[in-house]
Amino acid sequence: MFLAEVRASAEPEDESTRRILDAALEAYQEFGLRRTTMDDVARAAGIGRATLYRRFPQKGDLVTAVGLREVRRFIAAVDVEISKAPNAEERMVEGFVAVVRGLRENQLLNRLLSSEPEAVLPGLTLHGGPVIALARGYLKEKIEEDQRAGLIADFDAEPLAETLARLIHSIVLTPDGRIPTRDERQMRAFARTYLVAWLRI
């Protein structure tokens, strides 16, 4: 799943696809991926099995579509928080807080990590290259916007974007530690001291 793919995707136009995705998300959050059948989703969405299979031939296609929509919504929410910040330093701080909070509060991610770790951990770790690439691509765009505006120095944004992505990657996989992820005031203080330092490379 790459950033261009996420950006190119859009909220589904037709009402029945929207209902399918909503029903699937709700079922995945409540029962997990493994225990949710295509029939469960069709029933909850109030549509016929034929319609569901025409739109999503396999369970994996539906899971991917739900995941893609979650990522797109997540990015849109982070964009809003970053756009409110007045300068490059605060964009770093608010972006970090929005990403960590958004992932910590994401119901689908938390449900799957706690009840089906064997299903999601390999894709988030050993085969997690695309996840890192997605986050890196997004963060690189944000850093380069401030570079083009002359607000921060013109270093290569990609390694910094990846380092930030990896810090967040580790925090999501292993929240237990000394980076305060539950207290936003403390999270901002951490970001202001330790992450903003990077913008002065």
Q: Does 158 bind a copy of itself (CB under 8 A)?
A: yes
Nearer to a copy of itself among residue 69 and residue 91 (C-beta):
91
One residue of 132, 144, 147, 188 binding a copy of itself per CB under 8 A: 132
Binding-residue total with a copy of itself (CB under 8 A): 41
Q: Does 160 bind a copy of itself (CB under 8 A)?
A: yes
Amino acid at 149: A
How far apart are alpha carbons 172 and 186 in whole angstroms?
17
| Interacting residues of 48 by C-beta distance below 8 A, sequence separation 6+ | 42
Q: Does 77 bind a copy of itself (CB under 8 A)?
A: no
Query: In this structure, how many other beta carbons lie within 10 angstroms of the beta carbon of residue 156?
Result: 12
Amino acid at 55: R
Question: By CB under 8 A, what part of segment 163-192 binds a copy of itself?
Answer: 163, 165-167, 169-171, 173-174, 176-179, 190
- The two three-digit tokens of residue 25, written as one number: 């998300």
How far apart are alpha carbons 160 and 166 in whole angstroms?
10
Q: Does 147 bind a copy of itself (CB under 8 A)?
A: no
Nearer to a copy of itself among residue 69 and residue 169 (C-beta):
169
CB of 125 to a copy of itself, least distance (A): 4
- The two three-digit tokens of residue 190, written as one number: 């951490």
CB of 68 to a copy of itself, least distance (A): 20
**C-alpha dihedral over 187, 188, 193, 199, to 10 degrees?**
120
**What is the DSSP code (8-state) at residue 47?**
-
Residue position matching structure tokens 């050993």: 126
Q: Which residues bind a copy of itself (CB under 8 A)?
A: 113-114, 117-118, 121-122, 124-126, 128-129, 131-133, 136, 155-156, 158-160, 162-163, 165-167, 169-171, 173-174, 176-179, 190, 193-194, 197-198, 200-201
